[in-house]
């Protein structure tokens, strides 16, 4: 295991929190308290769970042993009923019916205790389950919301499948732990305290200090295996959760790449990848189960030793059967609650690994926060200016170097150059998907770092190379361009994007359902939906990032006509490898190794820029 220390929200290192159970439990409960703030009325349900847990614990650990010790003998000898109860009955029942009344109370007392215990346990389980489910809901939504705001740099370092595993599997693991141990966290320690109180009551009454001392000693020793195995469980649980994340990543990647996998005959290789990760998970999980189940035999052995000691000691001092039953019952509840506390501790260790993986996301710093007092961009913020901008993705190579350029509002500019020259990076900085390493990017005269990201991006429409479609109808996918747009506005945008033939050719038209990621839609149809979104958004800045590069020539011509109409009156950036797609541009920027090496019209660049001339001639336009 790595010796690296990770800081938690409270400023303490996790290494410091892997010590004693109370410290770790306190750390966990502090995290729960943090999440509980998101749940309305959670305090009420927690208090209900605590109260009913207290009642159930008192009925189990104290009520049943005391019933056996004090009330049960009255079934055979009414005079042995505790004096306060006997006097209470005698004052209200005729003498000739006193024995029958005492017998009735003695026989009814035990079922009454079990009824109270059962009702309290049921209410406790429901309150705890509600608590756990609401807490899970908020943890999962909080993590997912955090992922929506974290910078692109974070997402590019993560496996999508692993992030999916954290939201689904790790959050579910935390919820399962909450459902299983939240009740035990309250109930079992209270049951142990109640049972020990019953032991004190019974043995103190008999002045049997030796038996109590032995019982207390064994009870304390029962925590030893809990601590021994707990440390190993948390280590293996971390490995198992990482394995689940990697398995999810392998499956997600494989399902999203079926064409490539089958084209290159990679089916067996993908199966072996999953087999390898699945094997690691199996080995880690088996070790978790081994350590979990090794604890129970140790505790049961200790329980048997204590009962044997009590049996021998009771025989030597002439202990009555009912006294022995009371002591044995109290010992059973004490050791059983300790055993269940140990199981809760093990689940706590398992959940800690999952909670840590969620906390990594929740505590990931936002390296691109909105300013405290953001500047409002003008409504027609179409002017874009780069002032000596440099940018690096952190791989040791600059993607942009000293870029300075001004694009006035309404101008259409094409960005050309070899792959990796910095064209897409240039447009990404306009949308503030990344922040410039040096220099400043201005939109509408405002530094993008001084504006709210939501305000900035509301001024920009993007038509990417591969438009993403979401599950839902065509109409709903177009409406993503502007929330709240009317059906008439959506239909007008679809018409502007030349979708009439496409929409009329499918059952349901614009209300036709799309599958996951727009399955069953051709590349040209997908791009027209993306263009319709941009028409609907009606933003002053338009970015066309390889918008037609994946289309055939016929589809490209249709989309090009739509894009030319869309670009009118907007500041438009066209990222293109094909020179056929830049014909609507009045200005061309030529990129090479992160620098702008040419700026002008086609004729000017063809005459003065060797790189532009080479790229143009290579395509034979």
- Give pLDDT tens digits for 65-100: 777 767 777 777 777 777 777 778 788 888 878 888
Contact, 594 vs 430, CB < 8 A?
no
Report the chain's mean pLDDT, rounded to a whole number.
Answer: 78
Does residue 219 have a pLDDT over 70? no
Longest CA–CA span in the chain (Å) reads: 125
520 pLDDT tier (thresholds 50, 70, 90): low
Tokens of 313: 């000691």
φ and ψ of 437, to 5 deg: -70, -40
574 three-class SS: strand
**574 within some domain:** yes
Predicted TM-score (pTM) of this structure: 0.67
Better-predicted residue by pLDDT, 115 or 353: 115
Does residue 1 have a pLDDT over 50? no
**522 within some domain:** yes
**Bridge partner list, 188:** none
Contact, 566 vs 535, CB < 8 A?
yes
Radius of gyration of the chain (CA): 36
> Quick one: DSSP state of residue 71?
I
Cα distances (Å, whole numbers) of residue 102 to 86, 116, 202: 7, 21, 22
My answer on whether 166 and 119 are in the same domain is: yes
My answer on whether 320 and 396 are in the same domain is: no
Q: How many domains does the chain have?
A: 2
My answer on whether 51 and 109 are in the same domain is: yes
CATH number at residue 464: 3.40.50.300
**13 within some domain:** no
> What pLDDT does residue 31 have?
57
3-class secondary structure per residue, 352-383: HHHHHHHHHHHCCCCCCCCCCCCECCCCCCCC
> How far is it, in rounded angstroms, from Cα 600 to Cα 590?
9
**277 within some domain:** yes
**Where is average pLDDT lowest: 16-30, 176-190, 245-259, 518-532?**
16-30
My answer on whether 411 and 501 are in the same domain is: yes
Measured CA angle at 588 (ends 585, 593), to 5 deg: 140
Helices and strands, counts by H and E, the chain: 22, 12
515 three-class SS: coil
555 pLDDT tier (thresholds 50, 70, 90): low
Better-predicted residue by pLDDT, 328 or 534: 534
My answer on whether 127 and 234 are in the same domain is: yes
My answer on whether 389 and 256 are in the same domain is: no
**368 within some domain:** no
> What pLDDT does residue 35 have?
55
What are the tens digits of pLDDT across the range 535-545?
A: 899 899 999 88
Does residue 304 have a pLDDT over 80? no
My answer on whether 134 and 262 are in the same domain is: yes
Chain-centre distance of CA 616, in angstroms?
Answer: 49
3-class secondary structure per residue, 428-490: HHHCCCCCCCEEEEEECCEEHHHECHHHHHCCEEEECCCCCCCCEEHHHHHHCCCCCCCHHHH
609 three-class SS: coil
Contact, 430 vs 348, CB < 8 A?
no
599 pLDDT tier (thresholds 50, 70, 90): very high
> What pLDDT does residue 607 have?
93
Report the pLDDT averaged over residues 503-513. 80
Q: Is 295 exposed, middle or buried (0-12, 13-18, 19+ CB in 10 A)?
A: buried
Q: Is 483 exposed, middle or buried (0-12, 13-18, 19+ CB in 10 A)?
A: exposed
**487 within some domain:** yes
- The pairing of strands 460-463 and 541-545 is parallel
- The pairing of strands 384-392 and 438-443 is antiparallel
My answer on whether 347 and 390 are in the same domain is: no
> What pLDDT does residue 416 have?
93
My answer on whether 460 and 573 are in the same domain is: yes
**376 within some domain:** no
Contacts of 586 (CB under 8 A, 6+ apart): 411, 412, 413, 601
> How far is it, in rounded angstroms, from Cα 191 to Cα 348?
19
> What pLDDT does residue 182 have?
61
Half-sphere exposure of 97 (CA within 13 A, CB side): 8
Residue 418 belongs to domain spanning: 384-619
4 pLDDT tier (thresholds 50, 70, 90): very low
The number of beta carbons lying within 10 Å of the beta carbon of residue 276 is: 13
Residue 381's closest CA among 539, 494, 150? 539
Residue 572's closest CA among 614, 526, 583, 619? 583
> What pLDDT does residue 180 have?
65
Give, rounded to a whole angstrom, the gap between the first and last alpha carbons of the chain.
59
Residue 548's closest CA among 557, 538, 556, 536? 556
My answer on whether 333 and 465 are in the same domain is: no
Between helix 98-149 and helix 171-205 the angle, nearest 10°, is 150
> What pLDDT does residue 118 have?
86
**371 within some domain:** no
Give percent of the chain above pLDDT 70. 81
Does residue 119 have a pLDDT over 50? yes
My answer on whether 268 and 408 are in the same domain is: no
Chain-centre distance of CA 614, in angstroms?
Answer: 50
Does residue 12 have a pLDDT over 60? no
Cα distances (Å, whole numbers) of residue 315 to 81, 200, 212, 319: 24, 19, 16, 6
Report the pLDDT averaged over residues 44-66. 77
Nearest 10 degrees: CA dihedral of 341, 347, 352, 358? -130
14 pLDDT tier (thresholds 50, 70, 90): very low
> How far is it, in rounded angstroms, from Cα 226 to Cα 231?
9
545 membership: H or E segment, kind and range:
strand 541-545
**Bridge partner list, 441:** 386
My answer on whether 338 and 403 are in the same domain is: no
Tell me the residue length of the chain.
621
What are the tens digits of pLDDT across the range 457-494?
A: 999 998 887 788 888 888 988 998 888 889 999 989 88
CATH number at residue 231: 1.20.1560.10
Contact, 175 vs 135, CB < 8 A?
yes
551-563 as b/e: b if 16+ CB within 10 A: beeebbebbbebb
449 pLDDT tier (thresholds 50, 70, 90): very high
Does residue 389 have a pLDDT over 50? yes
């Amino acid at each position: 295991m790595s010796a690296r220390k990770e800081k938690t929200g409270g400023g303490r290192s996790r290494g410091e929190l892997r010590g004693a159970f109370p410290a770790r439990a306190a750390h966990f409960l502090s995290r729960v308290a943090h999440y509980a703030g998101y749940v309305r009325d959670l305090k009420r349900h927690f208090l209900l769970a605590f109260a009913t847990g207290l009642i159930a614990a008192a009925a189990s650990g104290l009520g049943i042993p005391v019933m056996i010790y004090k009330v049960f003998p009255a079934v055979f000898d009414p005079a042995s009923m505790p004096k306060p109860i006997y006097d209470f009955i005698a004052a209200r029942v005729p003498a000739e019916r006193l024995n029958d009344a005492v017998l009735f109370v003695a026989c009814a007392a035990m079922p009454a205790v079990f009824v109270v215990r059962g009702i309290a346990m049921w209410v406790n389980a429901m309150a705890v389950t509600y608590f756990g489910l609401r807490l899970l809901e908020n943890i999962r939504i909080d993590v997912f919301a955090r992922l929506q705001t974290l910078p692109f740099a974070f997402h590019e370092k993560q496996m999508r499948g692993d992030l999916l595993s954290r939201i689904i599997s790790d959050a579910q693991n935390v919820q399962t732990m909450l459902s299983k141990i939240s009740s035990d966290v309250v109930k079992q320690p209270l049951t142990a305290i109640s049972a020990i109180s019953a032991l004190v009551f019974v043995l103190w009454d008999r002045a049997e200090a030796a038996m109590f001392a032995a019982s207390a000693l064994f009870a304390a020793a029962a925590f030893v295996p809990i601590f021994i195995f707990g440390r190993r469980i948390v280590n293996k649980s971390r490995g198992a959760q990482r394995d689940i994340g990697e398995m999810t990543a392998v499956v997600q990647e494989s399902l999203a790449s079926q064409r490539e996998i089958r084209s290159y005959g990679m089916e067996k290789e993908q199966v072996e990848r999953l087999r390898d990760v699945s094997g690691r998970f199996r080995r880690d999980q088996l070790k978790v189960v081994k350590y979990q189940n090794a604890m129970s035999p140790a505790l049961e052995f200790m329980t048997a030793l204590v009962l044997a000691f009590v049996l021998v000691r009771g025989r030597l001092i002439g202990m009555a059967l009912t006294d022995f039953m009371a002591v044995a019952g109290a010992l059973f509840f004490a050791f059983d609650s300790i055993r269940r506390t140990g199981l809760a501790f093990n689940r706590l260790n398992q959940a800690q690994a999952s909670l840590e993986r969620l906390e990594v996301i929740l505590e990931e710093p936002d390296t691109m926060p909105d300013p405290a007092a953001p500047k409002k961009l003008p409504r027609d913020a179409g002017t874009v200016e780069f002032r000596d901008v440099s940018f690096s993705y952190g791989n040791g190579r600059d993607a942009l170097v000293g870029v300075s350029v001004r694009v006035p509002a309404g101008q259409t500019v094409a960005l050309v150059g070899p792959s990796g020259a910095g064209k897409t990076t240039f447009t990404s900085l306009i949308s503030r998907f990344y922040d410039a390493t040096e220099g400043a990017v201005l939109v509408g005269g405002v530094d993008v770092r001084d504006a709210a990201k939501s305000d900035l991006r509301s001024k920009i429409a993007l038509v990417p190379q591969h438009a993403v479609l979401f599950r839902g109808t065509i109409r709903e996918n177009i409406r993503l361009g502007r929330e709240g747009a009317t059906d008439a506005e959506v239909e007008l945008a679809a018409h502007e994007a030349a979708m009439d033939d496409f929409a009329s050719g499918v059952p349901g038209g614009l209300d036709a359902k799309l599958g996951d990621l727009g399955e069953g839609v051709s590349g040209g149809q997908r791009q027209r939906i993306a263009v319709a979104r941009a028409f609907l958004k009606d933003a002053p800045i338009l970015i066309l990032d390889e918008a037609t590069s994946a289309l055939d020539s016929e589809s490209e011509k249709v989309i090009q006509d739509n894009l030319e109409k869309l670009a009118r009156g907007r500041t438009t950036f066209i990222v293109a490898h094909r020179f056929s797609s830049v014909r609507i541009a009045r200005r061309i920027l030529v990129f090479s190794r992160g620098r702008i090496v040419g700026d002008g019209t086609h004729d000017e660049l063809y005459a003065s820029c060797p790189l532009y001339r080479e790229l143009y001639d290579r395509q034979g336009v």
